[in-house]
């Protein structure tokens, strides 16, 4: 049956979903991502779950089933976790309603761990959510990666509900390097960043698979969010991020930097809105999107937006879309470097800024390598 037929209309979140409606091509965040045919496709509904995972070092999800969890972290299943009733995305509510597994992680000390998603289903719908609560005054790093294997006509609807408590820092690195055809991933997420807490969000989307991540990030007083998004897509991929950052209280700070490289017929999406509420005085907000189109039919949809309801703030936004810099390309060619190598060097240079921002060298090296292989 199709996805919509699976929804329980008596679910407590149904009214929130219904108020936003089923997304279609007119829905702002899905204008360039074909959600309607994905939802209309016939799937088998994957309801398998595993309540006896192994303790290990990482969180390993296999088709939505938890196989391993980091033993240093408190973990619970299907526990009530705060749901954001104000989320802008109806698929956020849909994923909550359809998720057979909700994993709740509670982190009480400084740590670093990985979340590994393996998707290898065919003609199936997999829905699950991960909730993470970071305790006060700690630093946490999460490296999230995706692996697909013989997956086709599959739809993974997952999401994160994250709370970063006062004075804590969460660095979240999402590395989604997927080239599989007809396997879509939609992640609809909520990050709540409490007083004087920091969220550092890095997203890396490489390959020809289609996926869309939608983030709602709420900032409290003196909270900050530094988000960077690197996209490298080819073939017929539609990839990108929809990010709403809300400055709800005074002195919050946010920066967003998106860099996209599109090849073949790929479409990149960067739809970002920073909202500064009336009481969120002394905010600092900046957005920047740069895209390079390497082929004639590549397309970038960039929409950086600021919605401001206070006078006392610093804010800026900008967007550029172009091809490789001809002067830079010629400079390299004039030293005998081949056209192919020169283009590769310039594309890497464009991307390196965002990869080099990852302090963990092991992860930075891994992403560098995957980026080079995807070029």
Residues at the site binding another protein, with contacts judged by CB under 8 A? 325-328, 330-339, 341-342, 345-346, 348-353
Minimum gap (Å) between residue 338 Cβ and another protein: 6
Taking the least distance from each CB to another protein, the nearer of 99 and 228 is: 228
Q: What is the DSSP letter of 135?
A: P
Minimum gap (Å) between residue 366 Cβ and another protein: 19
Minimum gap (Å) between residue 353 Cβ and another protein: 6
Alpha-carbon distance 244 to 75, whole Å?
28
Taking the least distance from each CB to another protein, the nearer of 181 and 344 is: 344
Please, are residues 185 and 146 in contact by the beta-carbon 8 Å criterion? yes
User: Residue 334: CA atoms inside 13 Å, Cβ hemisphere, count?
Assistant: 6
Residue 222, phi then psi, degrees to nearest 5: 60, 15
Residue with tokens 């920047």: 288
Taking the least distance from each CB to another protein, the nearer of 149 and 326 is: 326
The full length of the chain comes to 375
Minimum gap (Å) between residue 87 Cβ and another protein: 36
Alpha-carbon distance 269 to 272, whole Å?
9
Taking the least distance from each CB to another protein, the nearer of 286 and 352 is: 352
Minimum gap (Å) between residue 163 Cβ and another protein: 36
Minimum gap (Å) between residue 232 Cβ and another protein: 14
Alpha-carbon distance 256 to 245, whole Å?
10
- What residues are paired with 273 via a beta bridge? 244, 305
Taking the least distance from each CB to another protein, the nearer of 1 and 349 is: 349
Residue 159, phi then psi, degrees to nearest 5: -170, 165
Residue 284, phi then psi, degrees to nearest 5: -130, 120
Taking the least distance from each CB to another protein, the nearer of 10 and 334 is: 334
Residue ranges of alpha helices (H) inside 291-355 are 326-333, 339-355
């Amino acid at each position: 049956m199709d996805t919509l037929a699976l929804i329980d209309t008596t679910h407590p979140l149904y009214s929130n979903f219904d108020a936003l409606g089923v997304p279609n091509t007119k829905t702002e965040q899905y204008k360039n991502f074909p959600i309607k045919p994905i939802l209309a496709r016939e799937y088998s509904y994957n309801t398998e779950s595993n309540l006896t995972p192994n303790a290990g070092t990482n969180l390993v999800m296999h088709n939505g089933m938890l196989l391993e969890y980091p033993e240093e972290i408190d973990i619970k299943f299907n526990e009530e976790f705060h749901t954001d009733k104000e989320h802008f995305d109806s698929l956020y509510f849909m994923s909550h309603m359809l998720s057979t597994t909700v994993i709740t992680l509670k982190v009480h000390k400084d740590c670093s761990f990985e979340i590994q998603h393996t998707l290898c289903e065919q003609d199936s719908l997999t829905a699950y959510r991960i909730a993470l609560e970071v305790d006060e005054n700690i630093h946490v790093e999460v490296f999230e990666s995706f692996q697909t294997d013989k997956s086709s006509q599959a739809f993974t609807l997952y999401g994160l509900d994250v709370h970063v408590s006062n004075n804590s820092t969460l660095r979240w690195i999402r590395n989604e390097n997927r080239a599989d055809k007809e396997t879509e991933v939609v992640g609809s997420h909520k990050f709540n960043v409490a007083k004087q807490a920091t969220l550092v969000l890095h997203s890396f989307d490489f390959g020809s698979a289609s996926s869309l991540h939608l983030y709602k990030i709420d900032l409290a007083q003196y909270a900050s969010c530094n988000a960077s998004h690197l996209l490298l897509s080819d073939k017929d991929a539609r990839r990108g991020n929809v990010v709403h950052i809300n400055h709800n209280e005074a002195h919050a700070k946010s920066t967003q930097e998106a860099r996209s490289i599109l090849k073949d017929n790929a479409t990149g999406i960067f739809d970002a809105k920073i909202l500064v509420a009336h009481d969120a005085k002394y905010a600092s907000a900046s957005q920047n999107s740069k895209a390079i189109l390497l082929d004639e039919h590549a397309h970038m949809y960039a929409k950086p937006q600021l919605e401001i309801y206070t006078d006392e703030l610093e804010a800026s936004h900008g967007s550029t879309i172009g091809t490789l810099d001809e002067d830079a390309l010629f400079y390299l060619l004039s030293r005998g470097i081949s056209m192919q190598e020169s283009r590769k060097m310039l594309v890497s240079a464009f991307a390196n800024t965002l990869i080099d921002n990852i302090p963990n060298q092991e992860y930075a090296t891994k992403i560098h390598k995957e980026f080079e292989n995807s070029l």
